[in-house]
A and B are shown apart, each in its own frame.
Chain A
Amino acid sequence: MTDDVLRVRDVTQRFGHGAGAMTALDDVSLAVRRGETLGLVGESGSGKSTLARAILLMRRPTQGSIEFDGADVTGLRGGALRRHRRRVQMVFQDPNDSLDPRFTVARSIAEPLVAAGVGPKERNRRIADWLDRVGLPMDAARRYPHEFSGGQRQRIAIARAMAAGPEFVVLDEPTSALDVSVQAQVLNLLVQLQRETGTTYLFITHNLSVVHHIAHRVAVMHRGRVVEEGTGEQVMNAPEHPYTRKLLESMPVLYRT
């Protein structure tokens, strides 16, 4: 039996009504294995961010269910939903989306720990630990986001997402706004943290060479559907769906196999 942390079952998400209705997710099913990275690739409008929202229970799907550790979490509310949220975290493309400019770095990292009921002493220990693990100096704790570069801010956002020990982290284009040299550092960090903590990642990106590098398995989305799923090697070297082939042909030559 495979050990799936997350199962998305037949999820459909419609927006609007009548003639103006559009289907953002069309009967999507996916499974993510514990400790692995599933890369979710697609172009603008393919539905990848809508799927991330459904997985994070930020919007209830029109149809279908989200299962965590075998339990249906789609309809969770109140305390049960809050408890569930500790297990799932998110890192955005723009680190400023998760860092309050008026909060010190320590306070930003502390927030999810407070929500998880971690006491002050343990919080401070974990903040120091996570700053160290993401490669930031200790004095970063007292400083503010604007004092850091884009790559450093993304490290802070990663520390914030990881500090409460989530089982599952959704990374939505976490390196797309970064220079390639900084992207390399952040990808290296994510791989290393996964090895250390066993956290499962859903890595959303439009960049096929990045997804091939970081993901154990890759799912390709097109117009609200998952059109292809397989290991990175399979999808990159022997794509089956015509859309995947078109994506690969569009890639600049440097990144092709």
Chain B
Amino acid sequence: MTDATDALRVDDLSIAYGGAPPSVSGVSLRVRRGEIVGVIGESGSGKSSIALAMMGLLPDSARVTAASMEIAGAEMQGASERDWCRVRGVKASMVFQEPMSALNPCMRIGAQIAEVLRIHGKADRRQARARALEILELVQMPDAAQRLDYYPHQLSGGQRQRVVIAIAVAAGPSLLVADEPTTALDVTVQAQILELIKSLRDETGMGVLFISHDLGVIGQLCERVAVMYRGRIVETGAARRVLEDPRHPYTRALLESIPRPSVPVRSPLAVIPAVNDFAEVPPVLEEAS
């Protein structure tokens, strides 16, 4: 396979806000088409900054540098806002944590999906509604035909997130960036949305960059994972391997801090020391075969 087939390939990415020390440094990531790659980290680890950088959505105060940043074959390092407009929604789309803030509360959901199709020239005014219905069915919205005319407030949280995902995949992007898309949802709904993301990946062959703080969710969904600590990747590898046999001390500490069946009840959970010594341990980087 040639590089052009990768959904995302970024080399040596650094992000700094204002004059502050970089909040992301030296990050390299690759998402093949049809692959789900997780980025895991705690608050402030830089994982959301990476997600926004992949969509060209960081504020002007952020300085983004990279040796290269290819999205579905398009080099976006130093790209202008005009270039990004040709990529966003078409080659790469994003799903956020809170569906209500991603949707227009005064617009029927069918119209919101149709709008994306028209903007990206995927359907004209007459076809758009029929196509919107197809996409709503693709994201497994129950009673899709009827719900096309619903407003966001008439839907449950899980259904709203389905609409957000429908809008994201409407124009057939090669890359889906999902930033904590299930964090605000109940576990039973979360399980359904994770299944949906998998099935969309299977059907469309898009690559998914999945940002989460939840190791369990990452383990459930992702083929590969990158562990972030203070703006750097400390470990990458197959998700199963990283979760079952973590090699970097930070990954190990993170896993040990989670209550899980193998830890005796009410026994002290491991506490991650606040000192900086994890950053001094060289990262464990495993490129996928």
Chain A positions within 8 Å of B, measured between CB atoms, are: 43-44, 179-181, 183-185, 187-188, 191, 206, 208-210, 212-214, 232, 236, 246-247, 249-257
Contact = CB atoms under 8 A, between A and B. Distances in A.
B265 A214 contact: yes
B214 A188 contact: no
B20 interface: no
Given A43-B186, A250-B188, 18 more contacts: A44-B157, A181-B253, A181-B257, A184-B272, A206-B187, A208-B187, A213-B259, A213-B263, A213-B269, A246-B188, A247-B187, A251-B216, A252-B215, A252-B217, A254-B219, A255-B216, A255-B258, A255-B259
Contacts of B266: 191, 213-214
A95 B10 CA distance: 39
Contacts, number: 92
Contact of B188 (A43, A184, A187, A188): A43
B259 A214 contact: yes
A232 B268 CA distance: 17
A188 B217 CA distance: 24
B260 A252 contact: no
A212 B253 CA distance: 20
A166 B71 CA distance: 57
Contact of A184 (B214, B220, B257): B257
Contacts of B259: 184, 187, 209-210, 212-214, 255
Contact of B186 (A44, A179, A214, A255): A44
B1 interface: no
Closest 5 CB pairs of A and B: A252-B216, A213-B259, A184-B269, A254-B216, A184-B257
Contacts of A232: 265
Interface in B177-220: 186-188, 190-191, 213-217, 219-220
B213 A251 contact: no
A173 to B, nearest CB: 13
B213 A179 contact: yes
B18 interface: no
Interface residues of B, number: 31
Nearest to A37: B266
Nearest to A42: B186
Nearest to A41: B187
B261 interface: yes
Interface string B229-268: 0000000000000010000000001100111110101101
Contact of B268 (A188, A212, A251): A188
Contacts of A236: 261
A209 B138 CA distance: 33
Contacts of A180: 42, 213, 215, 254, 257-258
B188 A247 contact: yes
Contacts of A212: 259, 261, 265
Nearest to A192: B268
B187 A179 contact: no
A253 B216 contact: yes
B271 interface: yes
Contact of A179 (B43, B188, B243, B261): B43
A188 B271 contact: yes
